[in-house]
Amino acid sequence: MSNPPPTLDERFIGSLLGLAVGDALGAHFEGRAAAYMTRTYSSAQELIDNPPPGELWYTDDTQMMIGVAETLVECVRIDDRVLCRRFADNFLPQRGYGRGARLVLEAMVDGHDHQYLAENLFPGGSFGNGAAMRVAPVGLMFRDNHDELWEQARLSSLPTHVHPHGVEGAQVIAMAVAVATKVETLDREAYFYEVSQRCTSLEFRGPLTRAAKLDDLRDLGLFGNGIEATDSVVTAVASFGLTPDSFAKTIGNVILLGGDTDTLAAMAGAISGAYLGVQGIPAHLVDRLEDRKQGKSFIEELARELWRVHHADLG
C-alpha cells in the first residue's frame, strides 16, 4: 500500500528543512574534487548512510533563506527594506559567506550603500548562485501565481545580485520548487517545460531542455558544480529530475560532484523536499541538524508560518 501524498504544509516544511539539511551535509565537502568524492564514497546512498560524525551545521545558504522566509511571513511580498534588515540582523560571518556577499552584508549592517557594492563589486553585478540558494520560500509562497513568482524571485535577488544570470538562476530555482509542490507523480518532460518556459537566456533554457532528457547519472556533472548560477542551478534541478523519489540520491549525487557542494545540495534539497514532503528526508539527517537559535525547530515553525500566510493570502 503506497503512502499518501504529502500535504501542502508538509511540502513547505520539507522544502525549507530539505534546503538546510542539504546545505549542512554538503558543507562538509565544499571545495573537494569529484575524484576525491568518488574515491571516498561508492554511491550517493553510501554518503547519506555514513555522513560525517557530529551535528550538521548549516551555512550562509540557510541563514539567508531564513531572511527571505521571515520577510514573506511579515510582508507577504518581498519588501527590500525588510529583507535587507532581516539579512543584516541574521548575519553571522562564520556561516561561510563569500567575500563579495560579506562586504555587501557588512554595508547593510553598518547602514552604508550596500546597493552600490552589489552593483559594482563585480562587472555587471554578481552572477553567482547566492540568490538561487536562498529563494525557495518565494517558490513556496507564490506556487499558484507564476507571473508573481518570477517577479518576487527577481526582487529577492537584487540586494546582492543584479546580474541577469544571478537573477534568472534564482527565478529558475523558485519555479522548480513551486512546480514540485503541485505534482504527486513527476512527469519529467512536463516538469522541465514548466520550469524553463519563462527563461529568457540560452544559458538556462538550453541546459534545462537537455536536463529533461538526462538518463545517465554519469552525465550530471556536465551541468557544472561551480559557484556561478549558470554552473550549478540546472545541476540541482537535473539531479531532482533523475531521482525524484529519493531525497537521499538527489542531494547525494550533487555532493559527489564536488565543488560548491553546500549550495548544490541546498538547492536540490529544497526542490526534493517540496516534492516529497518532510517525511521524505532521511530522519537521521534531520535529527542531526543543529537545533539551537534558528536551528531545526525554528526552521520547521517558520515553514509552518509561511504556509499559514500563503493559505490566508489565497483566502
For the whole prediction, is pTM greater than 0.95?
Answer: yes
User: Does residue 190 have a pLDDT over 60?
Assistant: yes
Cα angle for residues 291, 266, 49 (degrees, 5° grid): 70
CATH number of 8-314: 1.10.4080.10
Alpha helix stretches (DSSP H) within the chain: 8-27, 34-40, 44-49, 60-75, 80-90, 99-110, 114-120, 136-141, 146-157, 164-180, 188-196, 202-211, 233-242, 247-255, 261-276, 283-288, 296-314
Residue 160 has pLDDT above 50, yes or no: yes
User: Do residues 134 and 68 make contact, with C-beta atoms less than 8 angstroms apart?
Assistant: yes
- Which DSSP state fits 177? H
79: pLDDT strictly greater than 60? yes
**Residue 170 is placed in which grid cell?**
534564482
Q: Model confidence over 236-256: pLDDT tens digits?
A: 999 999 999 999 999 999 999
Supply 70's cell numbers: 521571515
Q: For residues 45 and 206, what is the distance between their CA atoms, to the nearest angstrom?
A: 30
Confidence of residue 224 (pLDDT cuts 50, 70, 90): very high
Q: Give the span between the Cα atoms of 18 and 273, in whole angstroms.
A: 5
Kindly state the DSSP code that residue 7 receives in the 8-state scheme: P
Dihedral of the CA atoms 303, 308, 313, 315 (nearest 10)?
150
* Residues 256, 294, 163: CA angle, nearest 5 degrees: 60
Q: Which DSSP string do the residues of 25-90 spell out, in sequence order? A: HHHTTTT--HHHHHHH-SSHHHHHHSPPSS-B---HHHHHHHHHHHHHHHHSS--HHHHHHHHHHH
**pLDDT, position 315:** 60
Q: Would you state the pLDDT for residue 101?
A: 85
What confidence score (pLDDT) does residue 1 get? Answer: 40
Give the pLDDT confidence score for residue 75 in this predicted structure: 97
Residue 186 clears pLDDT 80, i.e. is over it: yes
In the chain, the percentage of residues whose pLDDT exceeds 90 is: 87
Strand partners, 228: 128
pLDDT, average across residues 193-216: 95
Residues 6 or more apart whose CB falls under 8 angstroms from that of 140 comprise 11, 12, 15, 16, 177, 178, 181, 274, 303, 306, 307, 310
- Classify residue 293 by burial, with Cβ atoms within 10 Å: 0-12, 13-18, 19+: exposed
Q: What pLDDT, on the 0 to 100 scale, is given for residue 4?
A: 86
C-alpha cell at 134: 536562498
Which positions ≥6 away from 34 have C-beta within 8 Å? 221, 225, 256, 257, 258, 259
Q: Where are the domains of the chain?
A: 8-314
Distance from C-alpha of 208 to C-alpha of 214, rounded to nearest angstrom:
10
